[in-house]
Every structure is written in C-alpha cells, then in structure tokens.
Amino acid sequence: MFKRVLAPQRLSQRLLLTTPLRHQTVPRTFHSSIDPQSRRTMAEMSKVFTTEACPPAGPYSQAIKANGQIFVSGQIPFDSSAKHVGGTIAEQTEQCCKNVAAVLAAAGSSLDKVVKVNVFLVDMGDFKEMNGVFEKYFAHKPARSCVAVRELPAKVPVEIECIALA
C-alpha cells in the first residue's frame, strides 16, 4: 500500500548505478575558476560618450564598455547636433550606422568588431532598403535581429543598437 520513498542521495546513487553513462558526469560542487583579478575586471564598467554622434536623448549612455565588450545604445537618425536627418529610409539608416561607428570609435572599437545588431523598424516595408545600407556597413554579417515596432523616439522610422568586442 505504501511505497518506499528514497532519499534524494540514495535515489541519485541508484540512478547512477542503473543509468548507462552517455555523457560526462558533472561534479556536485562548483568551484569557481575565476580568480579575484578577473572578478575585479568583470565588475569594471565605463561610460562611452562622443560628440561625433547623436547625443543621448535621455538618462542613458551612448554606450557602456564592460568585460571586453561594448554595448551601444540605440542610435536614431539624428546628427551630432541632435538634428533629424530626414529623407529616405536608406539615408536615415546611413545616419544610424554612422552614429554607431562614431560611438564604437570613441570606445576604441569599430564596426568590424560588432558581433550582434538589433534593428528596429516602424515599417517592415522598409526592410529591403534598410538591408542595402546595412550590408555596406556590416559586410562581415554579424548576428542580427530586425523587429517591427509601433513607434520609435522622435517618430523616426529606424533605430540600431549593437554589441561589439572592445
């Protein structure tokens, strides 16, 4: 009527004995292989700012440099004087890419070190034209997501953010 319940330790011992080993066993205790010097480095972050790109429109940094990576905030088609660069989606995407390049340069990196890009479009009908400009700046084809959004700041049609190696 009552089944005997095995304690977790005994159950795991029984499973190890009866289960064929197909994978490497994982140790029960985790010992960090990160030395104190690396921990200190991981905790260090620095803000990146340049006058060569659109200034931040709110309480955020143009980018953050941390642990050998650069996290670039979304760049919209505004020039360094915070003036909207209107025109076609191609022209506006071009300005976004120029802003990303300027922020990366200020951080000591470049577009060819970008590993991940997120593109936000208000109208997916602009996808093909945006891609034409994107390919020019990111010829090495980093990982990318492109999503449609309902609205972007200042009613712009495109915004680009990325992660790059320092």
What domains lie within the chain, and their CATH numbers? 41-165 (3.30.1330.40)
89-136 pLDDT per residue, tens? 999 999 999 999 999 999 999 999 999 999 999 999 999 999 999 999
Q: Which residues pair with 148 in a beta bridge?
A: 121
Residue showing tokens 């505004």: 78
Does residue 1 have a pLDDT over 80?
Answer: no
What percent of the chain has a predicted confidence (pLDDT) above 90? 72
Does residue 85 have a pLDDT over 70?
Answer: yes
For 8-40, b/e burial (b = at least 16 CB within 10 A) is eeeeeeeeeeeeeeeeeeeeeeeeeeeeeeeee
| Whether the predicted model's global pTM rises above the 0.85 cut | no
Does residue 20 have a pLDDT over 60?
Answer: no
